[in-house]
Amino acid sequence: MTNNDRKVHSQLLDLSLHSDQLERILTPALAIYPDMVHSNITITLDLLDCNAEQWQPHVKTAKLQSTMRLLCDRGVKRFKCATTLEMLNACEAGAEEVLMAYPCIGTRASRVREIALANPQVRICATVENIAQVDQWQGSPIALYIDINPGMNRTGIEQGSTAEIVALASHICQHGLEFAGLHYYDGQNRQADLELRKAECSIGYEQLLRIIQAFADADLPVRTLITSGTPALPCALSFPGFHRKSFAHRVSPGTIVYNDLSSLSQLPDGWDYRFAAIVIASVISHPAPGLITCDAGHKAVSSDAGFPNCVVLGHPELEPQHPSEEHLPIRVAPGAPVPPIGEFLYLVPRHVCTTINNFDWALLVRGGKIIEVAAVSARGRESPLLPAL
């Protein structure tokens, strides 16, 4: 068993529910541990020298308005989002700034305008990558970040196109809109070797500094640079160019609020992050020798990050197999005891963000007891049809 495996399985006692609590649960169930969330927030703030303004987490992970409030209570009041429902929840949780980091066109842009007008206490921002996207915000209070493509090839202006990036910022300013800064999500850098990951990220970060210098030469100062989700966080924090700066640099990891198998494998061992969200499942069948099935298929524990899609906390002898919609077969190691039908299992997902989105409700757990049943208020999306104007 590796050190990471030991770290995973050692948390079973901290996350186990009392037996009288388990008897009331309809599985599969999402369980979130506010004390663990607080701990993960504290670790992140410590890494940022207690500068909460340097962290702009993506709430695609948090999903619960109650978790967003925990962040706001700790001074983290700037967020990123990808849906208008996430934006609404962040505004209602007490955010001071919310960046729609997903391209806005047509009706989506109209909806973001509505949210901004209904929440004047919140600075609403959007990303843009061309003149048409800029011009659609005319007459609105939306602040604009230019989205730069770091090589992930999802959105943004290619990072080598410095002149185009500067020209777009000039167009924003000339048309009376607010140029807020640059957005750069380098999520493609997930190399298992952290030093290799840092080296790869540094190439992009050096290019960002050249872009910022080009802005300075054009008398268009960059006020804010937003980079780095969870895999690139250690890379951004160790990059010296972000320590000697004339701009505000923010990082935007969201997964670390809850953590999952992928995030813990990507972060340094010395960073004592913990799991704060798991799925509780029940053994429902013994379909064959050495095989059990529980009731948490990929409609409960997401499979988008590969297989196995989870581990069974405290049970390294149990190996999850390929799930179907509602079933998760689990192989039992030879000679190991077979969990009886009805036994509860605690599943740690490989990808927590998409797993959270599978549930309408979450059990908030402290000290082995359920303290609240909270709505996963930002899962899914708003109604697809806006009211007629």
CATH number at residue 335: 2.40.37.20
Question: pLDDT, tens digit, for every residue of 51-61?
Answer: 999 999 999 99
Residue 363 has pLDDT above 90, yes or no: yes
Task: Judge if 132 and 73 occupy the same domain.
Answer: yes
Which pLDDT band holds residue 2 (cuts at 50, 70, 90)?
A: low
Q: State which of 221, 252, 283 marks the end of a domain.
A: 252
Peptide bond into 28 cis (omega under 30): yes
Residue 306 lies in domain: 3-31+271-375
CATH number at residue 93: 3.20.20.10
Closest among 88, 2, 73 to 42, alpha carbons compared: 73
Inside any domain, residue 117: yes
Q: How distant, in Å, are the alpha carbons of 48, 99, 207, 247 from that of 244?
A: 15, 25, 15, 9
Inside any domain, residue 260: no
The predicted structure's pLDDT at residue 244: 76
Inside any domain, residue 132: yes
Question: pLDDT, tens digit, for every residue of 157-172?
Answer: 999 999 999 999 999 9
The predicted structure's pLDDT at residue 3: 58
Task: Judge if 231 and 283 occupy the same domain.
Answer: no
Characterize 364-376 residue by residue with b for buried, 16 or more Cβ atoms within 10 angstroms of its Cβ, and e for exposed: bbeeeebeeebeb
Inside any domain, residue 388: no
Inside any domain, residue 39: no
Task: Judge if 235 and 369 occupy the same domain.
Answer: no
Question: pLDDT, tens digit, for every residue of 168-197?
Answer: 999 999 999 999 999 999 999 999 999 999
Q: Name the token pair of 289.
A: 């020798």
Task: Judge if 227 and 311 occupy the same domain.
Answer: no
Q: Determine the residue type at 48.
A: L
Which residues of the chain form beta strands (DSSP E)? 29-32, 78-81, 97-100, 123-128, 143-149, 157-158, 178-184, 224-227, 248-251, 277-288, 291-294, 310-312, 318-320, 328-332, 344-349, 361-366, 369-375
SS3 312: strand
The predicted structure's pLDDT at residue 11: 83
Q: What span, in angstroms and rounded, lies between the C-alpha atoms of 378 and 216? A: 39
Question: pLDDT, tens digit, for every residue of 265-321?
Answer: 999 988 999 999 999 999 999 999 999 999 999 999 999 999 999 999 999 999 999
Inside any domain, residue 189: yes
Task: Judge if 210 and 128 occupy the same domain.
Answer: yes
Pairing of strands 277-288, 291-294: antiparallel
Task: Judge if 239 and 300 occupy the same domain.
Answer: no
Task: Judge if 190 and 75 occupy the same domain.
Answer: yes
Q: How many domains does the chain have?
A: 2
| pLDDT, mean of residues 84-112 | 97
